[in-house]
Amino acid sequence: MASGILLVTHAGIAHALMDAARHVLGKLPTELDSVEIAADSDPEQALQEAARHAASLDNGEGVLVLSDLYGATPCNIARRLSEQSAHLRWVAGLNLSMLLRVLNYAGRPLDELAEIAVSGGHTGIRIDHAGS
């Protein structure tokens, strides 16, 4: 079994990343769901919605929650969600590289999967020095 993965992002981002992951991988290797936070969302209601989605993803292996912009509302909701459950890990800074890495290693234990997420996010960021 693999941990479930929940994306908590600003509106439109999670679905775009999920579509891109399906395009690249063809089939998703684990349960993946999302909660997108609109600008006018009530944070308490969004937290409750995220908690319902996380609970439905937890098959006993836990849930990895990936949020987009550190410090923004979706990130704060993900952080609060992680404080409510010992079976949940949260990583901020979601990008496509991070999501693909997590999906490729979805069978790893939850704590290791969180580290893989961070590594995947960093690995996908590069500076081109060719013009220097």
**Residue 128: its pLDDT value, please?**
84
Instruction: Tell me whether residue 107 is in a domain.
Output: yes
**Residue 33: its pLDDT value, please?**
96
**Residue 130: its pLDDT value, please?**
76
Instruction: Tell me whether residue 11 is in a domain.
Output: yes
Residue 132, amino acid: S
**For the domain that residue 119 is a member of, what is the CATH number?**
3.40.50.510
Q: Which stretches in the chain have pLDDT values below 70?
A: 131-132
Look at the block and give the residue holding tokens 């069978």.
107
**Residue 132: its pLDDT value, please?**
56
Instruction: Tell me whether residue 130 is in a domain.
Output: no
Nearest alpha carbon to residue 106 among 3, 10, 17, 36 = 3
Q: Could you list the residue range(s) of the whole structural domain that residue 65 is in? A: 4-123
**Residue 131: its pLDDT value, please?**
64
**Residue 85: its pLDDT value, please?**
85
List pLDDT tens digits, range 64-84.
999 999 999 999 999 999 998
Could you please report the per-residue DSSP string of 12-64? Answer: THHHHHHHHHHHHHSS-SS-EEEEEE-TT--HHHHHHHHHHHHHHH-SSS-EE
Instruction: Tell me whether residue 129 is in a domain.
Output: no
- Number of structural domains, the chain? 1
